[in-house]
Chains A and B, each alone.
Chain A
């Protein structure tokens, strides 16, 4: 049995989540793990991947067709290379969610999404119903296509040991069905939400995007990332990539501070695995208090500036 891990990267650096997927792959107890780095001018990422401990080799596919991770092309490549493996794994990020089901369909196998634990080579745990139930599932397929929750395993770190071989593949799939137009990425000077130790999130109670400055001041002092509820994103206070929840990002920091967030199940689905949860809300009956380790019933406009000052 061998596993293929599909790396996530931006053509210049590997994303940390690749190490998380690798950690899940290691729990499979397979004979060998290879990593696929597909992109355009991404040799640097392939070099980085070759530094992961305990892998066999890196497969490097370089073509303009793979530049923006266009799923139609990447899926054909991953299915072609992946047909020789027992397991194909990628992150359950918007990228992995985009191309992996295509890989599974091309190989005529099912997919297990968002797994949080590996029990053996064919059994896994995954949350469903917005995390209100955890299923133990078994794949009956010969090739297991899996996407891994980014907070569920400790990322394998790149080592200083000798690099494994990098095998270049010249498979070039370009369907021409889709083309990249543009990307509006949010510039963040703060830690990435999914990797942050501390997160402070604002909800509808923040009342405006401008008021998020209050949270920024606290975040500066704590080195925290800033998140939001869907209501705050829908109201246009902050961009979509800040949404935490069932349909946003799943986070599990050491400290999660929810400010002006009621605690709907869809929001809890994205943050209830945080180690310590603090809720600040003026409604003492807000459901968020049912999951909070420390609850402060107060007006956020009084206590957030005070908190910032006293940190």
Chain B
């Protein structure tokens, strides 16, 4: 089996973003960037499948600017075999990303794709599902557990009421949730080795797709900030405040 893992470059999850003063966007200048945490989990799951002998190759793909190569290298250092960057000046919307990935898939013919369940920047949670629909493939979103059983992939999904298990024919798309696995760190020797692994760069223009954004951002604002309230000394004072001041109990 050949595995595809689309990975996204995002702000590091520990950084609290600030909105630019002209309200055009968030300020990403000099902010630490990283591999999207859900994508790390997706890479890890693909690597484990390869290590179990069920898959031969793990290909990581990113759609975006040239700097995304950094995150592709991170994924290679974790153990992925090769990387593809679909290079675009601007990062497309989820539908555009899905279309670009579709173009790569048509050439490569992957058996199983592992996406993150969401990018922690845009919080869209769309790209894997859109890719699956374009490719006419089944999907198991928000995966908690993934197993290959009798030529199908069985996915336990985290849903609002608990867990749901579905079985998908292959090829298939899985989007991974936080509890699926604990991603490994890249060791120093592997970081060195990753520098020599193949990285193919495909200019987005070569794919002849319309990747124009469909959604325009008009304005970005900070959320209404809550201010810290008061400290109470003990349970009696707390209950008194909740009853007579806040009137919520």
Bound form: Cα–Cα A182–B160 in Å: 15
Q: Shortest Cβ distance from B39 into chain A, in angstroms?
A: 14
Q: Shortest Cβ distance from A230 into chain B, in angstroms?
A: 7
A222-B249 in contact (CB<8A): yes
A275-B160 in contact (CB<8A): no
Do A135 and B220 form a contact, CB below 8 Å, given A94-B142, A179-B166?
A: yes
B126-A294 in contact (CB<8A): no
A295-B229 in contact (CB<8A): yes
Contact of A276 among B217, B222, B248 (CB under 8 A): B248
Bound form: Cα–Cα A311–B127 in Å: 47
A240-B214 in contact (CB<8A): no
Bound form: Cα–Cα A139–B134 in Å: 21
Interface residue ranges of B200-249 to A (CB < 8 Å): 213-223, 226, 228-232, 234-236, 238-239, 241-242, 246, 248-249
Does B71 make an interface contact (CB < 8 A)? no
Bound form: Cα–Cα A140–B234 in Å: 54
B133-A101 in contact (CB<8A): yes
Contact with A along B111-144 (1 / 0, CB 8 A): 0000001101111111111111110011111101
Q: Which residues of B contact A136 (CB under 8 A)?
A: 217-221
Q: Which residues of A contact B128 (CB under 8 A)?
A: 101
Does B21 make an interface contact (CB < 8 A)? no
Bound form: Cα–Cα A102–B135 in Å: 10
Bound form: Cα–Cα A71–B126 in Å: 13
Q: Shortest Cβ distance from A259 into chain B, in angstroms?
A: 12
Q: Which residues of B contact A198 (CB under 8 A)?
A: 248-249
Bound form: Cα–Cα A108–B96 in Å: 10
Do A255 and B223 form a contact, CB below 8 Å, given A97-B141, A291-B228?
A: no
The segment out of B11-19, B50-58, B59-67, B79-87 that lies at the interface is: B11-19
B214-A101 in contact (CB<8A): no
Bound form: Cα–Cα A272–B187 in Å: 38
Interface residue ranges of B96-121 to A (CB < 8 Å): 98, 117-118, 120-121
Q: Which residues of B contact A128 (CB under 8 A)?
A: 121-123
A133-B26 in contact (CB<8A): yes
Query: Which has the most chain A C-beta neighbours within 10 Å: B124, B144, B177, B215?
Result: B215
Q: Which residues of A contact B139 (CB under 8 A)?
A: 71-72, 98, 102, 178
Interface residue ranges of A170-196 to B (CB < 8 Å): 175-186, 194
B238-A233 in contact (CB<8A): no
Bound form: Cα–Cα A255–B166 in Å: 37
- Interface residue count on the B side (C-beta < 8 Å): 78
Q: Which residues of B contact A184 (CB under 8 A)?
A: 162-164
B123-A114 in contact (CB<8A): yes
Q: Shortest Cβ distance from A288 into chain B, in angstroms?
A: 10
Contact of B160 among A99, A241, A294, A295 (CB under 8 A): A241
Query: Which has the most chain A C-beta neighbours within 10 Å: B93, B128, B137, B162?
Result: B162
Do A104 and B95 form a contact, CB below 8 Å, given A94-B159, A110-B214, A278-B242?
A: yes
Bound form: Cα–Cα A140–B218 in Å: 12
Residue contacts A-B, CB under 8 angstroms, 28 given:
A72-B138, A97-B129, A98-B129, A99-B129, A105-B129, A108-B95, A113-B124, A114-B123, A129-B17, A132-B223, A134-B222, A134-B223, A135-B219, A136-B219, A136-B221, A138-B216, A140-B213, A181-B165, A184-B163, A233-B179, A247-B177, A276-B248, A293-B229, A294-B238, A295-B228, A296-B238, A303-B234, A310-B235
- Interface residues in chain B, defined as those with a beta carbon under 8 Å from any beta carbon in chain A: 11, 13, 16-17, 19, 26, 93-95, 98, 117-118, 120-134, 137-142, 144, 154, 157-169, 177-179, 213-223, 226, 228-232, 234-236, 238-239, 241-242, 246, 248-249
8 residue pairs, one from A and one from B, having the closest CB atoms:
A110-B214, A101-B129, A293-B229, A177-B138, A102-B133, A105-B133, A105-B130, A181-B165
- Interface residues in chain A, defined as those with a beta carbon under 8 Å from any beta carbon in chain B: 68, 70-72, 75, 93-95, 97-106, 108-114, 123, 127-141, 175-186, 194, 198, 222, 230, 233-234, 239-241, 246-247, 249, 254-255, 265-266, 272, 275-278, 289-298, 303, 306-307, 310-311
Given A136-B218, A293-B230, 17 other A-B residues pairs in contact with their CB atoms under 8 A: A100-B129, A102-B132, A103-B133, A105-B98, A111-B95, A113-B126, A133-B222, A136-B221, A177-B169, A181-B166, A183-B162, A198-B249, A240-B158, A240-B179, A277-B226, A296-B235, A306-B235
